[in-house]
Structures are given as C-alpha cells and as structure tokens.
Amino acid sequence: MPCAAQKPLAERDIDMTVLSFVEKLALGDNDSIMLYRGVTLSGKNFFAYLRCDKQGVEKLRRDYMAPGARDLNMYGEIIYMDFLAEPDARAEDFLLRYLKAEEKIAQLSEAV
C-alpha cells in the first residue's frame, strides 16, 4: 500500500528538530517519493520507495486497492527495495541521503 501524501505545514506550526525523519517526510511536500508495501507471488513481504511523476502517483493511488500482480516500474523509478514488511533504519537512512542529494542537485541547478 502506498503512503498517503500530506500537505506541508507552515514552519511556525511545528518544531522540525524533534521529529523523526519519517515524520518530516510525511509533513513535507514530497509527493514524488512514495512508499509501496506488498507481497510477492510467493508470499514474501516487501516494500519499495518509488520516485513517481504526477501521473505515476495518480496511477499508483488508483491501482493500490485492486488485486493482482504489478510491475512497479509502471509507476516510476524504484529507488530502494527490500524484503521486509516495513522500512527499517537502513532504508530510512538511504532515503534521507537520497533526498539530501536531490536537494543539492536542485540547488546547483538554480545557481546555474
């Protein structure tokens, strides 16, 4: 199941220093990074972080309750995947580093 994206709150509404990374991600404007939880055809749990454009997010939200096997690549790029029911600390660390790298790339693009 994908996580639902939430609208960002104003900085004055929340002390961002006391929130975990996952809480910050949920409060941020990160619709393009989606968490997908699923079960393989052999019954093994897995999760994946997907980088989706607007159409991929919309398709993922439409499809997530429908039964059947899916190729996650049809929603966007798989940036991380593991055979666990939920993301662990290693996955959260990866996502934090990934988002920081994306932010740096955006800053460099703006400077050019």
Query: What pLDDT score was predicted for residue 76?
Result: 92
Percent of the chain residues past pLDDT 70, beyond the cut = 69
pLDDT above 60 (res 85): yes
Tell which residue, 74, 82, 37, has the closest CA to residue 58.
74
Mean per-residue pLDDT, 52-66: 87
Mean per-residue pLDDT, 65-83: 90
Asked if residue 35 lies in contact with residue 92, where contact means CB atoms within 8 angstroms, the answer is: no
| Banded model confidence at residue 6, pLDDT cuts 50, 70, 90 | very low
- 10 Å CB burial of residue 59 (0-12, 13-18, 19+) is middle
Mean per-residue pLDDT, 47-51: 93
Sorted by where each begins, the domain ranges of the chain are 11-111
